[in-house]
C-alpha cells in the first residue's frame, strides 16, 4: 500500500470512509466488520468516521462504536489513524443539524473518546461551520482540545479557502487536514484542493465516487471515466480514485464502503498509473 502524510504521520494513500455502515441502507454488523477487516488486511491505516454517522436518535456514535469493535478484533488495529468529527448532528428523523458551540464540541469530543476507547483521538475534525457561532470560537474550542492532549491532530471539514486560512492561523499553523466534498460530479472544491497543496495540508475528498446512491453510475454518467476504465480493464471507480491521487500528493481519498469487495477495488487505485492524456480527458469530463 502506498502512503501519504497527514501531519507527521504516514498513512495509506486511500482511506476507508465508514459512514455507509451506519446510516440508511447499512448492512448487518457481520458484513461491516468484515469490510473493515478486509481494508486493514490490505494495508489501510486511515478510517474516517463521525459521531453523526447513525440512524436513530438513541444511537449517536454508532459508527465510532463499530470501528472500535473492529479495531479491537484485528492485530493491526493499533496501527490505524481514526479520523472522527464533531459539530454535525442527526436528530433521528433523517435530517442534519449543526452545533458548533465550544460546549458542544468539548462534550462531543469526550463522548467520542469513550466510544473509540482511546486516551487521545488521532485526528479530530470540526465537521461543518455553524452560522450561529463565530468560526473562531468553534475552531478555538478544538484548539483547546489539542492543547490539552485530548486530540493529537486537527482537521476541518466543509470549509472554504478563507476558513482554511483562518483555521490554520487560529491553530498556530497546526491544521493538518481539510475534508471537503470532491468528485467528478462535484468539483467546486478545486480552490480548496489547490490551497491545501500550497500549504502542505492533507486534502480528504469525501464522497469521491459521487455518493452512496450514485457511485455505481459513475461510468454511465461520465463517459471518459468508462472509456479509460475499459482501456485498463478496471472499474470506472478505480479510475476515478487514481485520477484524484494524481492531482496532488496531499490528496487522500476516503471512499465509502460497506462490502469487502468494494473497498478492495478502491484500494487498487494506488497501483493504477494514468497517462497525461488520460488525466486531461478525465479533467475535461463534465
Task: Round to whole Å and give the CA distance between 152 and 146.
Answer: 6
Catalytic (active-site) positions: 53
Residues in a beta bridge with 11: 4
Task: Round to whole Å and give the CA distance between 47 and 218.
Answer: 23
Task: Round to whole Å and give the CA distance between 155 and 210.
Answer: 22
149, 117, 6, 185 alpha-carbon torsion, rounded to 10°: -130
Unique residue bearing C-alpha cell 491545501: 196
Task: Round to whole Å and give the CA distance between 16 and 60.
Answer: 20
Please give the helix or strand (H or E) that residue 267 lies within, else none: helix 260-267
Q: Are 72 and 115 within 8 A, CB to CB?
A: no
Please give the helix or strand (H or E) that residue 11 lies within, else none: strand 9-12
Task: Round to whole Å and give the CA distance between 284 and 16.
Answer: 27
Angle at Cα 257 formed by Cα 259 and Cα 6, nearest 5°?
135
- CA pseudo-torsion sign 279, 81, 257, 182: negative
Residue among 251, 271, 258, 212 nearest 16 (CA): 258
Q: Are 202 and 256 within 8 A, CB to CB?
A: no
Strand, coil or helix: what is 43? coil
Amino acid at each position: 500500500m502506498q502512503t501519504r502524510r497527514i501531519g507527521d504521520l504516514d498513512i495509506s494513500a486511500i482511506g476507508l470512509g465508514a459512514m455507509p455502515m451506519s446510516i440508511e441502507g447499512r448492512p448487518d454488523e457481520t458484513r461491516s466488520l468484515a469490510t473493515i477487516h478486509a481494508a486493514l488486511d490490505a494495508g489501510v491505516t486511515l478510517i474516517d468516521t463521525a459521531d453523526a454517522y447513525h440512524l436513530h436518535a438513541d444511537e449517536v456514535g454508532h459508527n465510532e462504536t463499530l470501528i472500535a469493535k473492529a479495531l479491537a478484533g484485528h492485530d493491526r488495529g493499533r496501527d490505524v489513524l481514526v479520523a472522527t468529527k464533531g459539530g454535525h448532528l442527526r436528530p433521528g428523523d433523517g435530517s442534519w443539524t449543526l452545533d458548533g458551540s465550544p460546549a458542544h464540541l468539548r462534550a462531543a469530543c469526550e463522548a467520542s473518546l469513550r466510544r473509540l476507547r482511546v486516551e487521545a483521538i488521532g485526528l479530530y475534525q470540526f465537521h461543518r461551520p455553524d452560522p450561529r457561532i463565530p468560526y473562531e470560537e468553534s475552531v478555538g474550542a478544538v484548539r483547546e482540545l489539542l492543547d490539552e492532549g485530548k486530540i493529537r491532530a486537527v482537521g476541518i471539514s466543509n470549509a472554504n479557502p478563507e476558513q482554511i486560512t483562518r483555521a490554520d492561523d487560529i491553530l498556530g499553523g497546526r491544521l493538518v487536514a481539510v475534508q471537503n466534498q470532491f468528485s467528478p460530479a462535484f468539483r467546486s472544491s478545486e480552490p480548496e484542493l489547490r490551497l491545501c497543496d500550497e500549504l502542505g495540508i492533507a486534502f480528504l475528498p469525501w464522497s469521491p465516487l459521487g455518493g452512496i446512491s450514485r457511485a455505481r453510475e459513475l461510468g454511465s454518467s461520465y463517459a471518459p471515466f468508462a472509456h479509460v476504465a475499459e482501456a485498463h480493464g478496471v472499474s470506472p471507480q478505480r479510475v476515478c480514485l487514481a485520477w484524484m491521487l494524481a492531482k496532488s500528493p496531499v490528496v487522500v481519498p476516503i471512499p465509502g464502503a460497506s462490502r469487502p469487495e468494494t473497498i478492495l477495488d478502491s484500494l487498487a487505485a494506488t497501483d493504477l498509473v494514468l497517462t497525461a492524456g488520460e488525466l486531461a480527458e478525465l479533467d475535461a469530463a463534465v
